Amino acid sequence: MIVKRLTREEILSRLHAKVEQHIPIMIASAGSGLVAQLLEKAGADCVNTFSGARLRANGMGTMAMMWPILDSNRQTLDYTREDIMPAMNGDAFVCACLNANDPLKDMRMVLQECKDMGVMSVSNIGPSISYVDHDSEIFSVLKSAGITLQHEIDMLRLAREEMGMVTIGLAFTLEDSIRVCSEAKPHIFCYHAGTTKGGLKGYDSGLTIEQTAEQTEEAYEAVRRVHPDVILVAHGAAMSNPDDAQYMIDHTSGHGFWTGSSTERIPIERAVSAAAAEFAGLRFRRGL
């Protein structure tokens, strides 16, 4: 197996060409090689890997990655190298979503490991402190323990400025969005409106698609003021199907969308459940 490799220049050229042609950019997460292969074949521009996606593939919710039950970076690096990269043919690039707050690793070494396996793009969502409500006690405890957004910003800057990688910044709040874009200057920024609703493990925050679009556009306008050249994509909350994504495209000024559960967990749940139910419903027609 020889895995095709893409340069930063090739990746950015493809992305900017789609922006110029007014064609939506599609970023999608994959927890297995099969899903990555199918996403690439369907036309995804980028396949994201992160421990949350791998946990989804094992029947858990994305947020399970927030608990100290695994080495998030090691999970991401191992399955990206062994499951994802060999399944890809180079039509889409791979972005590894990393935990920049890993206390046991020098992130320069982690980024180099990504490059060594052919991954030329990284994001700060594996997981991000921006997931945690800023007015909560757990946020204060994490911050006092040295788990901060600054480490994520520093990793994105290192990846872009020194390592020559494509960076995808992500944040859940307006405040964090502005910080990430003003300080890290990522090539792509994704405003994460919240965990995707729907399916067995989804979470419905109550946001409608209209509210998701309004919140996302507010973030877009804010980050453009500090980083005018950034490519903008939307993700999460009420955006759980193609009609929702179309609404986001029509009602925000972004350049595309990022799908996770909506093109991975939810379709698998539906398809496997339906097929298995048909098989389980079979009965002998011959006499006993």
C-alpha angle 171-132-207 in degrees, rounded to nearest 5: 70
User: pLDDT tens digits, residue range 221-245?
Assistant: 999 999 999 999 999 767 888 999 9
Q: What is the pLDDT of residue 3?
A: 83
Q: What is the pLDDT of residue 66?
A: 60
Residues 189, 166: Cα–Cα separation, whole Å: 11
Q: How far apart are the first and last CA of the chain?
A: 51
Which tokens is 274 given? 């339906």
Q: What is the pLDDT of residue 40?
A: 97
User: pLDDT tens digits, residue range 4-61?
Assistant: 899 999 999 999 999 999 999 999 999 999 999 999 999 999 999 988 776 776 666 6
Q: Are the beta carbons of 233 and 190 closer than 8 angstroms?
A: yes
Cis status, amide bond into 127, omega within 30 of 0:
yes
DSSP state of 164: -
Q: What is the pLDDT of residue 260?
A: 84
Q: What is the pLDDT of residue 64?
A: 57
Q: What is the pLDDT of residue 15?
A: 98
User: pLDDT tens digits, residue range 139-189?
Assistant: 898 888 889 999 999 999 999 999 999 999 999 999 999 999 999 999 999
User: pLDDT tens digits, residue range 68-113?
Assistant: 557 889 999 999 999 999 999 999 999 999 999 998 899 999 999 9
Q: What is the pLDDT of residue 27?
A: 96
For the chain, list the domains and their CATH numbers: 8-275 (3.20.20.70)
Residues 213, 217: Cα–Cα separation, whole Å: 6
Residues 209, 215: Cα–Cα separation, whole Å: 10
| 202 pLDDT higher than 90 | no
Label residue 112 exposed, middle or buried (CB < 10 Å: 0-12, 13-18, 19+).
exposed
Q: What is the pLDDT of residue 216?
A: 95
| 205 pLDDT higher than 80 | no
User: pLDDT tens digits, residue range 256-279?
Assistant: 999 988 888 888 889 999 999 999
Confidence of residue 122 (pLDDT cuts 50, 70, 90): very high
